[in-house]
Amino acid sequence: MEAWLDPVYDAAGMGAADRWAIEEAGVPSLELMEAAGRGLARVAADLSTTEGGNEGLITVVCGKGNNGGDGLVAARHLDEAGFEVTVILLAGRDQLSPDSQANFDRLPEGLAEIHEVSLQAGSLRGVIIDALLGTGFDGEPRGPVADAIDAIGRSGLPVLACDVPSGMNASTGEAADIVVAADRTVTFHRRKLGHLIAPGKHLCGTVEVVPIGIPEGAPAPQAGGEIRSGVLGLLPRRQADSNKFTSGRVSIVGGSRGLTGAVCLAAEAAIRSGAGYATAAVPGDLESIFEAKLTEVMTRGFGSGTDRLEAEQSEEVLDHLEGAAAVVLGSGIGRDSSTAAFTAAVVAGCESPLVLDADALSTFGTDLGALAGRGAGTVLTPHAGEAGRLLGRESSEISAHRLESALELSRSSGSVVILKGDDSIVTDGDRVAVNNLPAPALATAGTGDVLAGMVGGFLARGLGCFEAAAAAVFAHAVAGQIAALEAGNRDGVIATDVIRAIPRAMIPPAG
């Protein structure tokens, strides 16, 4: 895996690491469970003392698998530490996993209550440890487990999840219809991919990783990784003999009446991202507007008597794009049917690496094979709605299955995909990189155009599509944070603030 990614497991990978530790390294499974439960107890004790009115009271709700066994260990340690602990088991002893049975037998007599029928919210008190379902869960909770999750949610009490909130898929971040929303999550050995991806990301609260004694040499995480600042070290630096041509030309294609700002934002972001120079291919009747707005960008108008780019201008625009190191297509281009035909023609004929953004995504249709047939690399930058239009699905379905959707879109189109969000996913259909750097200031109009321009700028500087996309997503988030600090209030940040912050956001880590 790339050195600039912090690797994370999926459920299968974590299971392989556990098995290796037990079967190859000779670590007893009960020792792993003991370490997990001890770490869970430590965080539960902290949560109990920081949540007003709940000090000293803890309810541990346990399923019958090893996740429940971790909860039983935590209950024993908390009881020994003087907390008032209630253990609620959703199964009798004979239904528990072998290691859970062993830890059930270690509990002080009378500590556990068995609820094989519906659990009521009134049975819960203090801090709740959710130890119902672990990393191997997939699907919908049923029966007493579903009732217990519902009771936890209705209790209004602080919740600590063991490994993952019950009802959440550890591999994808997908959530069942009924799912625990935790204030904190303790996970073991390493984070899981689902901790990074919505909606699961928002169900976990603060995630803490607890070592459990898996030795060095265990199978490494391969599911994906969190983008780290080291990705900025991939960006080439200008040298004494560099010039605007060696730094690369980005061409922005787009614009229509009422939407001229998008082209300007993308073009300015491209040159702030280190491109040698940028050109803007725009509707002829609007060129004077772009000439007035853009000082550092060369503009060229196409067509006359029209305020949008149409199919009949595609050949002339393609001639203009020859020699571009990267092309950004779609900024403010509009959704007219003739514009859609223009977009399709440029996609088919452009021989440069291409960033497809905004209205170009919305009007492209579902013929993803046309993208897969391109000779040069392609980066798609959809939000959930645009991804849904490309895949022929509702945006709500994309939001519920973000990783699956991003992978499918990438594989079907032969493109690198940035599925945008506060957990932006970058994938080439094989590798998965997720941004986990919060930047709520970016929730404002125009920042998507800025991101597209940054991807174009990084492509022009020579990065591959996957690397350029990941670096742009990370630097974009950093720029959002810087802009918020400078504005003094993240709610007042606008897209041009983010552009001004790009040079500082690109500074690689020392060493």
pLDDT over 70, % of the chain: 98
Distance CA 258, CA 169 (A): 43
* Mean pLDDT estimate for the chain: 94
pLDDT digits (tens, 9 = 90+) for 161-201: 999 999 999 999 999 999 999 999 999 999 999 999 999 99
- pLDDT score of 511: 64
Question: Band of the pLDDT at 431, cuts 50, 70, 90?
Answer: very high
3-state secondary structure 264-317: HHHHHHHHHCCCCEEEEEEEHHHHHHHHHHCCCCEEEEECCCCCECCHHHHHHH
Every domain of the chain and the residues it spans: 5-219, 241-505
- pLDDT score of 242: 76
Q: Higher-confidence residue: 438 or 109?
A: 438
Burial of 1 (0-12, 13-18, 19+ CB in 10 A): middle
- pLDDT score of 39: 98
Range of lowest pLDDT (57-71, 114-128, 296-310): 114-128
> Phi and psi for 355 in degrees, rounded to 5?
-105, 115
Distance CA 297, CA 284 (A): 16
CA distances 325 to 73, 270, 330, 350, Å, are: 59, 12, 17, 11
Res. 245: pLDDT tops 80: no
Compute the average pLDDT of residues 425-431: 98
pLDDT digits (tens, 9 = 90+) for 302-345: 998 889 999 999 999 999 999 999 999 999 999 988 899 999 99
Domain 5-219 has CATH 3.40.50.460: no
Strand pairing category for 432-434 and 425-427: antiparallel
Res. 117: pLDDT tops 70: no
Compute the average pLDDT of residues 230-251: 87
- pLDDT score of 122: 75
Domains 5-219 and 241-505 belong to one CATH topology = no
Question: Band of the pLDDT at 52, cuts 50, 70, 90?
Answer: low
Question: Band of the pLDDT at 246, cuts 50, 70, 90?
Answer: confident
pLDDT digits (tens, 9 = 90+) for 440-495: 999 999 999 999 999 999 999 999 999 999 999 999 999 999 999 999 999 999 99
The whole-model pTM stands at: 0.95
Question: Band of the pLDDT at 53, cuts 50, 70, 90?
Answer: low
| DSSP code string of 370-427 | HHHT-SS-EEE---HHHHHHHHTS-HHHHHHTHHHHHHHHHHHHTSEEEE-STT-EEE
pLDDT digits (tens, 9 = 90+) for 346-405: 999 999 999 999 999 998 888 899 999 898 999 999 999 999 999 999 999 999 999 999
Burial of 92 (0-12, 13-18, 19+ CB in 10 A): exposed
Fold of 241-505: UDP-N-acetylmuramoyl-L-alanine:D-glutamate ligase (3.40.1190)
